[in-house]
Structure 1
Amino acid sequence: MDIQSLGKQFINGEWRDGQSSRTLDNLNPYNDELLVSFKMADVSDVDSAYKAALRAKEEWDRVNPYKKRDILERAVHYIENHEEAITDMIIDELGGTRLKAAFEIGLVKNIIKEAATFPLRMEGKILPSTEDGKENRLYRIPAGVVGVISPFNFPFFLSVKSVAPALGAGNGVVLKPHEDSPVTGGTLIGKIFEEAGIPKGLLNVVVTDIQEIGDAFVEHPIPRIISFTGSTSVGSHIGQLAVKHFKKPLLELGGNSAFIILEDADIDYAVNAAAFSRFTHQGQICMSANRILVQKSIYKEFMAKYAEKVSSLKVGDPRDPETIIGPVINIRQAENLQAMVQKGIDAGAVPILKGAISGKMVEPTILADVTADMAAAQDELFGPVVCLMPFETEEEAVEIANNTRFGLSGAIHTANLEKGVQMAKRIHTGMIHVNDVTINDEPIVAFGGEKQSGLGRMNGEWSLDEFTTLQWISVNFGQRTFPY
């Protein structure tokens, strides 16, 4: 298996070209090498994919739950047997380092293992009735067909995070990967589940873009759920469009995580955790720490040690095992980062480390003395740029942390763990971690954001809830008495 073999649409169990006259060139972001070209899917391909998923879902309904479990487990075995090839794809398509690839593959295997338990957890209830001789039954059933739209940063995991639980819960799926990650976020996943033995057409992958299909992926009448991971602005549009068409939106959106360091924290440990929280995969993670909040009594010491640590991170070829920071995904991202850094400096931020930007290679930048009113502190910095913000009191730290429209992740470092927990409870975020990094995702723990960071919760029982619905069937063992 190599990336060139995955350059087709995967619709109704067939690998074929899309019907559009347009092509999508999939380029290596480090060296601009052409990896593979796709003939794009058009609206008719989207229609075919959704219809195939609906048909195959009826076949999937008849598969024994234990066999469904076995099929999903085979997907994990396939990944394990092709781990080196998948690592190469993540490096070549995403500019991800070997460290990032191993991290992402591990997340994928864990979430599929969890999803493999779902067929055996489709539990219902029998409830009493107000009527004599009557029984109320609640059946947990699949929602139907799920449309999944995935991003470019962790596309293998963030696609599978919806695809595997949706399949495990009994649904058909149509996946539209981001145009910058059509293989690792799309056709690779189609191949994995095809080899695992799912029914033909149950999972479909359409490689296209919005210029080609507009809102057809969301507006199509078949899907009952639209699961989207990406920017808040696009997520807002998709969420509104889904509700307009009576579909459930499941949204994992942007973040502006605060990493808070209190004066009693282990500074050296906090330095390492803050570096990991910001610069893993070039900072292109929704949970990345955008704002490092440091108590004033240790601010200068932390700043010096943090700058030294970040300066040591190797920038360059993601194929080099020593590389920590590879390229950002495209020129647009690099240009946006350059503009945001300059805007921060113009507003008064002090660049204690200002990395060069050459094409898609963005070296780390640390902006110190950032204030809450600056755009750098309010907008998501989706790259290797970070803000340092001093604070006097814990109350002020909480206020700064909450001064954002986002609420995805966060971290608090302190020697007093219970103080950290009590402080964490006051921060309006879906997830926050004491003496840890902001980047955390575990297969059985509720994952999701508050405010403009999303709607819904994923992983474990929460994914099972999101991708199923309940049907009430009552049984009257006798005859009711009617008033007329």
Structure 2
Amino acid sequence: MTSDSAPDPYPDFDQMPIGGTWTDGGSEHSAADVNPWDGSTLTEIRLADAEDVDRAYARARDVSRDWAATPPAVRAGVFREAAAVMERRKVEITGWLSRESGGTLAKAELEWGLVRAVMLEASALPHHVEGRIMPTDIPGKESRVYRQPVGVVGVISPWNFPMQLSNRSVAPALAVGNAVVLKPAGDTPVTGGLLLARILEEAGLPPGLLSVVVGKGSEIGDPFVQHPIPRVISFTGSTPVGEGIASKAGIKRLALELGGNGPIVVLDDADVELGVEAAVFGSFFHQGQICMRANRLVVDVAVADEFTDRLVDRAKGLAVGDPTDPDTDIGPVINRSQLESITELVGQAVDGGAEQLVGGDPVGPNGLGLPPHVLVGPNDCATAANEVFGPVITIVRTDGEDEALAVANDTEYGLSSAVFTADVERGVRFARRVDAGMTHVNDAPVNDDPNTAFGGVGASGIGRFGGHWSIEEFTTDHWITVQHEPRSYPI
């Protein structure tokens, strides 16, 4: 033990659990897992290949039936214990979340809390999988509908909130009786999968029920989604990749949470300071690398000058630096490619006539610490029309509620959104006309409540993640009839 209260750290994360055994992948390629702030190597992993994917799915299929037949109390107990493991290993877990994803300590604490909450929520799910008795017009016939696990679920998760966006599918899917094969993002293989596997293993999850395959999308992406064994593919990530999965997955259920272009709408009667604080959180928390982030601030001209001045002051005061420093507000973006994408969009917006009010060059030992950027421009400028996925926000000025609504809805995406107004019922009426899966009245669009569902419309995806929707996503109906009395047939 490292102390009286903390268990020994988990072993080096240089292998992955495939089919019940921690092993190297079968690919010819290895990958270094790099700290985005200082560029140091956290671990190096021999990647998985298509045969590893096949082995993981085959083992998952073999063990899933016994797991589905396990009493609900046993499955529930695994997730209660997983929450307890997270308590004991909080420092270890939050350390990994900060080092690997570049998240600040505040972000690591928030993500740890969300994952733990999902573990506890999953512990309640096994006792809420319910069947029903259906009416029938045939004399002496009984119609029963049994709710049962789908069998095997494939989960693909992103790098931005890696542990939470893996666990919100992994934990519920396992809790209701399925086996899972998880493919985490290459930038966050530990927090996106390997660390989660160790926690569940320590909590008592039987071997083979959760496999983690870390590999290149070009090598294992298609085999993962096209494989005949999984009945559900759960994916969180970009819209282009989600469209590719939908075209290749075949006859499977898909749960896809994709890109977003979330607006915060500030109406003429809004509390400006409240809107600014929500905008700072919604735009710059975790460097703006959140799918439900505020990508646009749609602000009524009546309050736009005051709102802009206050937002600029707040943005200029945000500290960019080492994410493990408690005084840091903004850490590094995840990698060089992401940084180049962000700065290219900012350049296009400025060249197209947008005014940059706040900005700056990247800082830090690895050159990935991008200061917050605030722009003012039209809704069709590059940083407003596209999902930036970085510490960049664009203010779009509008005149009146109708124009604000038209601008908010002028996007192919429909993930998250928010509206600020002094009149709550006005806000609800406005929210109901926004084309989005989620709209928050007088709150930021970044949903930090683990007890609610997530999901979008349009180019932002299909399906729902979290809450009681998890049971719907990861189980299926089996209709069984019983004829209690002899009957006559028409032939």
TM-score (normalizing by structure 2): 0.96
Q: CA deviation at 1:301?
A: 1.2
Tell me if the contact between 2:65 and 2:151 (Cα under 8 Å) persists in the aligned partners: no
Residue number in structure 2 paired with 1:397: 404
State which of 412, 417, 423 in structure 1 corresponds to 2:419.
412
RMSD: 1.1
1:364 paired with 2:372, answer yes
Who is 2:317 aligned against? 312
The unaligned stretches of length 5 or more in structure 2 are 1-7
Asked whether 1:179 is paired with 2:186, we answer yes
Matched, 1:480 2:487: yes
1:168 aligns with 2:180: no
Matches within 5 A, 1:292-441: 292-358=297-363, 359-368=367-376, 370-441=377-448
Q: Is the 8 A contact 1:95 1:328 kept in 2?
A: yes
| Secondary structure at 1:472 match in 2 | strand
Q: Structure 1 residues 441, 459: CA separation in 2 closer, same or farther (over 3 Å shift)?
A: farther
Supply the AA of the counterpart residue of 1:469: T
Q: Residue 8 of structure 1 aligns to which amino acid in structure 2?
A: Q
Correspondence for 1:283 among 284, 288, 291 = 288
The C-alpha deviation readout for 1:341-396, integer Å capped at 9, x for no partner, is: 0000011000011221243111111111x112222211101000110011111000
Residue 400 of structure 1 and its aligned partner are, at CA, apart by: 0.1
Contact 1:17 1:38 in 2 (8 A): yes
Q: Percent identity?
A: 46
- Partner secondary structure for residue 447 of structure 2: coil
Matched, 1:467 2:467: no
| Aligned equivalent of 1:21 | 28
Deviations 1:256-310 (A, max 9, x none): 0100111211111211111001001000000100100111121111111100001
Give the Å deviation of 1:2: 4.4
- Which whole-Å deviations, capped at 9, do the CAs of 1:18-41 have from their partners, x for residues lacking one? 111210100000011010000001
Aligned 8 A contact 1:3 1:36 in 2: no
Amino acid at match of 2:182: L
SS, match of residue 390 in structure 1: strand
The 8 Å contact of residues 281 and 444 in structure 2, kept in 1 or not, is answered as yes
Q: Deviations over 1:426-449 (max 9, x none)?
A: 110000111111111433323210
- Distance in 1, matches of 2:402 and 2:330, equals 35
Matched residue, 2:98: 91
Residue of 264, 267, 284 corresponding to 2:269: 264
- Structure 1 residue 149 displacement after superposition: 0.3
The within-5 A match list for 1:242-253 is 242=249, 245-253=250-258
Deviations 1:182-227 (A, max 9, x none): 0000100110111111121001001111122240000111100000
Partner of 1:450: 457
Aligned ranges 1:92-171 → 2 under 5 Å: 92-171=99-178
Deviation of the 1:121 alpha carbon: 1.1
One-letter code aligned to 2:475 = T
Tell me, yes or no, if the aligned pair for 1:155 and 1:177 is still in contact at 8 Å.
yes
**Range 205-214 or range 167-176, more displaced:** 205-214
Between the aligned partners of 1:384 and 1:355, the Cα distance in structure 2 is 11
Secondary structure class of the residue paired with 2:51: helix
- The C-alpha deviation readout for 1:166-195, integer Å capped at 9, x for no partner, is 001110000000000000001001101111
Q: Report what 1:236 is aligned to.
A: 243
Aligned residue identity for 1:159 = S
Q: State the secondary structure of the residue aligned to 1:116.
A: helix
Distance, in Å, in 1 between the alignment partners of 2:96 and 2:26 is 26
1:362 maps to amino acid: L
| Secondary structure of the corresponding residue to residue 310 of structure 2 | helix
Give distance in 1, aligned partners of 2:124 and 2:393. Answer: 39
**What SS class does the counterpart of residue 255 from structure 1 fall into?**
coil
Shift, 1:86, TM fit: 0.5
Residue 232 of structure 2 corresponds to which residue in structure 1? 225
Aligned match of 1:209 in 216, 221, 229?
216
- Is the Cα contact below 8 Å between 1:444 and 1:461 reproduced in 2? no
Maintained 8 Å contact 1:255/1:287: yes
Separation in structure 2 between the aligned mates of residue 372 and residue 65 of structure 1, nearest angstrom: 51
> What residue identity is the alignment partner of 2:375?
L
Instruction: Give the 3-state SS of the residue equivalent to 2:146 in structure 1.
Output: strand
1:122: Cα distance to partner? 1.5
Partner AA of 2:65 in structure 1: E
Is this contact kept in 1: 2:18–2:213, CA < 8 A? yes
Deviation for aligned residue 1:56 = 1.4
Structure 1-normalised TM-score? 0.98
Q: Which residue identity is paired with 2:340?
A: E
Partners of 1:292 and 1:434 in 2: CA distance: 14
2:95 counterpart letter in structure 1 = D
Superposed displacement of residue 3, structure 1: 7.0
